[in-house]
Amino acid sequence: MPMLIAMGLLAGLFFSATFILNRVMSLAGGHWLWSACLRYAYMIAFLVGLTLLFRGGRSLARLLRLFVAHLGFWITAGSIGFGGFYALICFSADHAPGWVVAATWQLTIIASLVVLVGFGRRFPKRIWCFSALVFVGVVLVNIQRGDRIQLGELLLGALPVVVAAFCYPIGNQLVWEARNGNRRLPDITHPLVDDAFNKVLLLSLGSVPFWLLLLVVLHPPPPSKGQLINTALVALSSGIIATSLFLLARSKARHPSQLAAVDATQSSEVIFAMAGEWLLLGAPLPTPIAGVGILLVFTGLLLFIRHPDTGDTDQAKLTADATTPGQ
């Protein structure tokens, strides 16, 4: 469990760059759709290049065959988990400061639990308590600026992030379920899916039809040079490094409590973003209320580490649920 938490926290560090850079691009006048779809265009290019460089063309060909063999599944999971999630995040950056988006995004902690229950997973009630503690901590971190939120920011900046908070765990859990033998989903129990980079590439490819449809419908103006550079940085830090670390941690989880703990580490994004602003932009140090919030976040994560549900009964239940979901 400590290793899973560590990987999740490191992913949170790289994820935190997304909110700052998206807001920078929005303030510079770049259209939110380019901020979203260019990230995945870069990700596909990066991952294809890395696969060819380190694993060769034969490995890439096998991965593409797996993608085509389950085309409908990868388009569905990619459109929800990558497309819907990130389109809503970038849209919100046009209507709210980055800290509002980052704070609201922490609802994914609770959303992840709801998604796990929806897929028939079971875990002790204390997991809800640990997640709630983390969430309360994130609220306290941001409450010092709460009086600045306006109605427009709430409707156009926060609400889309609430939906995104459900899209991301749904997409990830679809892959986890299919990989672990859920009979309601295609069987993708292939060794290639064990690799986090491969999963990111497959989901990114699956999101392509979603982005093409949005481009046809919205017809955004061409992206600026700065937007091209910033989206490349987001693709590398958040799309490649952070997403791969996060999916790797989830793939190593062996029961629902560990999955919930890994998902909860995303709350660290707000803390890393605040630290980055202080170090790089000279922002003021957190207030005492924010300090309490930070303490609560890491207390919740510590409880996940010290009280994991690792019994044989829970493991057996997970195995059973993987083949007979919802029972």
Mean pLDDT of the residues in the chain: 82
Q: Is 94 helix (H, G, I), strand (E, B) or coil?
A: coil
Q: Residue 257: which residues within 8 A CB-CB, separation 6 or more?
A: 123, 124, 127, 304, 308, 309, 310, 314
* CA terminus-to-terminus distance, the chain: 27
Q: Picking from 110-124, 168-182, 195-209, 218-232, which range would have the lowest pLDDT averaged per residue?
A: 110-124
pTM: 0.79
What pLDDT is attached to residue 267? 76
- When pLDDT is cut at 50, 70 and 90, the band that residue 76 belongs to is very high
- Counting Cα atoms < 13 Å in the Cβ hemisphere of 248 gives 19
Burial grade of 219 (CB within 10 A; 0-12, 13-18, 19 or more): exposed
288-306 and 125-143 are packed helices; what angle lies between their axes, rounded to 10 degrees?
160
What pLDDT is attached to residue 82? 94
Q: Is 126 helix (H, G, I), strand (E, B) or coil?
A: helix
Nearest CA to 80 among 212, 160, 171? Answer: 171
- When pLDDT is cut at 50, 70 and 90, the band that residue 322 belongs to is very low
Burial grade of 293 (CB within 10 A; 0-12, 13-18, 19 or more): buried
- 179 touches 193 (CB < 8 A): yes
Q: Picking from 126-135, 183-192, 299-308, which range would have the lowest pLDDT averaged per residue?
A: 299-308
Cβ neighbours, 10 Å, residue 152 = 10
Asked if residue 99 has pLDDT above 50, the reply is yes
Tell me the percentage of the chain whose pLDDT exceeds 90: 32
- When pLDDT is cut at 50, 70 and 90, the band that residue 87 belongs to is very high
Q: What distance lies between CA 31 and its chain's CA centroid?
A: 22
Q: Which of 51-60, 98-107, 177-186, 286-295 has the highest mean pLDDT?
A: 51-60
Asked if residue 213 has pLDDT above 50, the reply is yes
Range of the domain at 99: 2-323
Domain count, the chain: 1
